[in-house]
Amino acid sequence: MALGFQDDEFQKVCKELEEPQVAGWEFFTESHGVTIYRLFNEKSGLYQYKIYGTLDDVDPQVCADVYMDLEYRRQWDTYAKELQEIEADGKKLIYWQVNFPFPLWNRDYVYSRELRTLDYQGKQMWVVLARSEATPSLPERSGVVRVDDYVQCAVLSTDGKVGTKAYMHYYDNPGGNIPTWLINWGSCYMLCLQPCSETD
């Protein structure tokens, strides 16, 4: 299966965990050991986010396993109408349809995702990259808006004790006629739906 991620993309994300690159980014909030920065996209009117934090009692290997586990996510994420691994156009991809409240149409995503375990400057890191993919063999469904501008990455490493040091980058443009303020609010909410917080 063809993969679209390059080695330098993984290295760049590893560097973010060790040396946060936040020049030009706006500090957004900090709580419970998690710090969030955001950057305004002039073209879309939306924000992208960088999140740095620690999980004091979750091992990075466990966190990576949970992060990649689609079956487990279907159990706890009530907004996931469909979530499955598929093969299309010579690629292994994820299909994800998200329930949106009435009267909005649901959104769906077709994206590539890859996990690599790397040694970076003597530290073991679990790195996940994901981004939307154009898939001619999977046309948009009637009554569902296809999201074609989605990027997410995460890197996990030990905090030096029993927990996990983590970094995440997230951007999502759901399209359609939704006010940008509502999309920005929803993006913040989606950041709270990350699976490592569900292991308790």
Encode pLDDT of 123-171 as tens digits.
999 999 999 999 999 999 999 999 999 999 999 999 999 999 999 999 9
pLDDT the model gives residue 157: 97
pLDDT the model gives residue 45: 86
Residue 177 sits at φ, ψ, to 5 deg, of -100, 55
The answer to whether 120 and 128 are in contact (CB under 8 A) is no
Contacts of residue 40, defined as CB under 8 A and 6 or more positions apart, other chains included, come to 26, 46, 47
pLDDT over 70 at 115, yes or no: yes
> In the predicted model, what is the mean pLDDT of residues 13-17?
96
pLDDT over 80 at 195, yes or no: no
Q: Kindly provide the b/e burial profile for residues 45-65, where b requires at least 16 CB atoms within 10 angstroms of the residue's own CB.
A: ebbbbbbbbbbeebbbeebbb
